[in-house]
Amino acid sequence: MKSRRPIPITDEKFPLFPKLIATSFGAGFLPVAPGTWGAIVGIILWLPLYIWSPGVPAYIATIAAIVFFTVVGTWASGVSEKYWGKDPVAACVDETVGQLISLLPLCGGIEVAPWWLILVSLVLFRFFDIFKPLGIRKMEALPGGAGMMADDILAAIYSACILEVILLLM
């Protein structure tokens, strides 16, 4: 779990663009459970695809969003460590990326997945992200933004695998 060191809301030195990305557009500044709020940002970004463009277009757009936010999020998370210390709690773009990855199984097919599976995805992802079983904690040893991002990516892969099994059983 991330440290609970308070983060200054206004930091004149920290450039705005990496701060916005690292905090998932400010969700990281919310006082309770910023990681969960970061994951919810991922759901909010993904919902239009779920509603209006299910299937292959949603899958491709989700992959594009994952790649984009992984690249800029890794960079912005690394910048955040320079201003706020190692793995700051406000830097929650890693949770946004993780949630997007865990939603991938819900993009496939011509049928829209049941809405409640979005909640299952969130619960699974947050479980793996918080408790960090099965080698997830080891990923944090990577340096800088890569370590911040890698543990959430692995947590999301485990979540997506479980969701895929649930979908196969349905």
Helices (H) and strands (E) in the chain, counts: 7, 0
Query: 3-state SS of the chain: helix, strand, coil percent to 5?
Result: 70, 0, 30
- 10 Å Cβ neighbour count for 137? 12
pLDDT of 15 over the 70 cut: yes
CA-nearest of 150, 54, 155 to 102 is: 155
The Cα 12–Cα 159 span in angstroms is 38
Residue 5 has what pLDDT?
53
CB 68 within 8 A of CB 91: no
Crossing angle between the packed helical segments 144-169 and 56-84, to the nearest 10 degrees: 150
- Tokens in use for 56? 């292959």
pLDDT confidence of 6, banded at 50, 70, 90?
A: low
Q: Provide the residue ranges of all domains of the chain, joining segments of one domain with +.
A: 30-169
Please compute the mean of the pLDDT values over residues 4-26 and round it to a whole number.
79
pLDDT per position as a tens digit, 56-105: 889 999 999 999 999 999 999 999 999 999 889 999 999 999 999 999 99
In order, the DSSP letters of 73-99 are: HHHHHHHHHHHH-SS-TT--HHHHHHH
